[in-house]
Structures are given as C-alpha cells and as structure tokens.
Structure 1
Amino acid sequence: MTAARFPRGVLFDLDGTLLDSAPDFVATCDAMLAARGRVPIDPAVLRPVVSKGSWAMVSAAFPDLDAAARDALIPEFLQRYEALIGQHAVLFDGVAGMLDALDAAGTVWGIVTNKPEYLARLIVPQQGWQQRCAVLVGGDTLAERKPHPLPLLHAAQAIGIAAAECVYVGDDERDIVAARAAGMLSVAALWGYRLAEDDPRSWQASVMIDNPEPLHLASTWPISP
C-alpha cells in the first residue's frame, strides 16, 4: 500500500540504482583489453551485466576464455577499476532530487551493495554523501551478501529502524529477493541494469518505478501499514 509520507528508512543498492557506474566499468574493461591487443568492448554488451558483478563483466569482456582464466582476471579488474573509480560514473537523472526529498522528510537512508566495501567507500566522498549516508554495507562486510537478507537486516539495525519500516531499492532480482526475506518493502528500479530476458514483474517488488523522479514524492513510496 502507499501513503503520502516517506518511509522512516530507505536502503539503496549502489550500481544501477543510485550510480550509473557502467562508464567506469567500460573504461576498466577497455584498459584490460588494450593491454592484450584486443578491441574495446561494446558498451551495450557490458551495461546489462553491471549489476551481476565483476565476474559477469569480465566474462562479457573475455567471452572466449574459460571459467578459470576469467577467475584469474578478477584481481586485475578490481585493481584497474579502483584506479579510475568515479572518473566517468554519474548519478542517474533524478537521484539527487530523490535523496534531497528524503533528507528534507527526515528519512534515514543508506547503501547496501554487493560491491566490495572498500570500493563502495571510495564513492561516498566523491558524491558528498559522508554526512548523509547513514550506513554502508558492502558485499564482503558480512558473512553473507544479497540475495541473503543479512546485509539488509544488519543495515536496518545499524540505523535503528525496524526492517518492516524500511524500504529497499534495487535494480536486480536479488535485491528484491533479499528485501522480501528481510521483511522489507521494495522498489524495483527499472532504470538500472538488466538482461534482456529479465522479467521484473516476476520479482514481486512492492512497486516498480521507471525512473527516480516519482520517488521525489512521498505518495510513490510503499509504506507498511
């Protein structure tokens, strides 16, 4: 159900939800490909798999390699990405206004991502979120990562708001699965990264939103009874 008030707490996925980080990852893959005398990757090939993580992106860049060879490239991928993180990434249109609206309403918000925590923490000051982001949980912060509910439950506890009073916003099915398992309402961020065969309607999110603009309004957010 919806009501004309913002949630007490909102937790966000990062890549594909708040941040359009695909350009950074394209640059990372291109540097790796160039070092091996290969042609640059088609951004349209990489973009749909960004939310699937580093292994999926390395696989998109090097589809001819076997699994073991792709695994061996992950450390280089992360190192190159860290060296250029934030140089090309931008917030999705409407995200800044959405966060401003949450701040103005007194909503506490934070980030729960499967991105390694040390990398996610580099992004927070780049966006000026040091005093705004109340909690940050990375994919390696805890013993479990999404779609397990533990990171969401941990974040809710850290901000002192019951899970049932928090909303989780993400662009991947595992985000919605994690929210449901944590007892949180959810927003499927349809502006993010998805494979062509993904069907967000099957994720069973509380609401699906095409872009962040409607989330500037309290009436768009799902609210627990």
Structure 2
Amino acid sequence: MHNFLFDFDSTLADTRDVAVMATQKAYEAKGLAIPSREAVVSYMGVPIEVSFAKMATESLSEAALTDLYTEFRAQYHEAEKLGISLFAGMGATLATLKNQGARLFVVSSKHSVPLQRNLDQIGLGQTFEAISGSDTVAHYKPAPDGILSLLQRFDLDAKQSVMIGDAKYDMQMGNNAGIATAAAMWGAADPASVKAEQPTYLLQTPSELLTIFK
C-alpha cells in the first residue's frame, strides 16, 4: 500500500471520552433524554446528522436537530480542551511513512473545521496531504464519497490505497470504494463488528502500518 486514508476518531486519536461528554451535555442542554455512553460509542464513526436522531427517544423536527448539532459542536469545542490524545506510536509511525514517501490523508465524519483544529491540537496539522470532512461529501459513511473524491483529486491508484479505521463503517466505506481496508483494532469499540467486515489487514498497533507500506 502506498496511499493511506485514515479515519480520525479512535483511529488517529483517542476522542471517545470527549465525544461522549459533548453528546450527553448537548442532549441535556436541550432537555432531551441523555443517551447512554454505550449508545454514543456505538454510533461513533458516522456523522451526527445520522446518529443524533437515532439516539433521541423523542421525534425531533429538523429545526430541533439543527439546534442539537449546534449545541453539540459548542460542547465538543469545550470538551476537546480536556483531552484528545494521539495513540501511542502513531506520531512516529506517520512520520516514518511520510519520510518513506507514503501519501497520507484523513477521511472523517467530522466537519472539516473541527477536524483540522483537532489535528492541529495533537500536532498533526501539517502531516496530511488533504482532509475530507463530512461537510465535503453528498453522502456520509459508509458511502464511498470521501474516498472517491480523494482518489480523483490526487490521481491515486485504488489498488495502492487503504482505508484505516476503527469502526465497521470505515471498513464498509473502503469496500464500497473498491480499496483495501485496515482495521485499527487499538481503537475499536466493537471489535467483532469490525472483524465481520473482513478487513484486508487486521492491525493491533499503529506501528504495524509500516508492515503494509510498499
């Protein structure tokens, strides 16, 4: 593999506690039933535009959902200051891949602005050739839009490209785009569901990414 496309949350960085805290506070602020930690974690990997309506026990109008998204992003902006951390070994692995000529990208369910802010926060702001946020695609994960856009924009060979992620949605997106997949088991909240997608590579640590570079 030569082109590495990374998910962000729970793949590059550990953001699970931040996401849970921001989600629960957003629902609470809007007077809604607060989703359990398990529910929030189970939907990590898909955009809030998909997951929030499903986690709500009430039927919410589009306006109410829009308000909830806005509240979540404000809460996340505060919560992220308390703790987004790069997974052990990830920084060194990315540096080695880049130095050896690998092309690095991010495909995330986050909007592009907070995604870039989070990358800056963990010292990866200049690491990636390009990022693809949920605001840049017509269809969210597991649709392949984010991957296909990068393949086209940067003339990347699909046969030399791999999607790295911690959730089944990442594996499905890679499959739908016709590229290889690598399961980031170090961040997987539901390992069984990830393995069920039969990823091309099953990786236990970030450093194992070096073994699939060609």
What TM-score, normalized by structure 2, do the two folds share?
Answer: 0.81
Alpha carbons 1:50, 1:193 under 8 Å: kept = no
Q: 1:169 to 1:44 in 2, by over 3 A?
A: same
- Matching of residue 114 in structure 1 with residue 106 in structure 2: no
- Matching of residue 199 in structure 1 with residue 193 in structure 2: yes
AA at the equivalent of 2:5: L
Q: Which residue of 1 aligns with 2:208?
A: 214
- Matching of residue 27 in structure 1 with residue 21 in structure 2: yes
Q: Deviations over 1:106-157 (max 9, x none)?
A: 1110100111222212112223333321010011202122212221021123
| Greater length-normalized contact order (CA 8 Å, ≥ 6 residues apart) | 1
Q: Which residue of 2 aligns with 1:153?
A: 148
Question: What is the total number of aligned residue pairs between the two structures?
Answer: 210
Q: Which residue of 1 aligns with 2:183?
A: 188
SS across alignment from 1:50: coil
SS across alignment from 2:134: coil
Alpha carbons 2:93, 2:207 under 8 Å: kept = yes
Q: Deviations over 1:174-202 (max 9, x none)?
A: 21122122221110112224348x43232
CA RMSD of aligned residues (A): 3.0
1:68 to 36, 49, 60: 60
Q: 1:168 to 1:87 in 2, by over 3 A?
A: same
Q: Which residue of 2 aligns with 1:16?
A: 10
1:50 to 41, 44, 49: 44
Alpha carbons 1:58, 1:74 under 8 Å: kept = no
SS across alignment from 1:155: helix
SS across alignment from 1:11: strand
- Matching of residue 169 in structure 1 with residue 161 in structure 2: no
- Matching of residue 105 in structure 1 with residue 97 in structure 2: no
Q: Which residue of 2 aligns with 1:179?
A: 174
Q: Which residue of 2 aligns with 1:124?
A: 119
SS across alignment from 2:93: helix
| Shift in Å, 1:86 | 4.5
* Unpaired runs of at least 5, structure 2: none
AA at the equivalent of 1:94: G
Q: 1:8 to 1:184 in 2, by over 3 A?
A: same
Alpha carbons 2:2, 2:213 under 8 Å: kept = no
What TM-score, normalized by structure 1, do the two folds share?
Answer: 0.77
* Unpaired runs of at least 5, structure 1: 1-6
| Shift in Å, 1:30 | 5.2
Provide the C-alpha distance between the structure 1 equivalents of 2:92 and 2:53, rounded to a whole number of angstroms: 33
AA at the equivalent of 2:151: A
Provide the C-alpha distance between the structure 1 equivalents of 2:24 and 2:179, rounded to a whole number of angstroms: 38
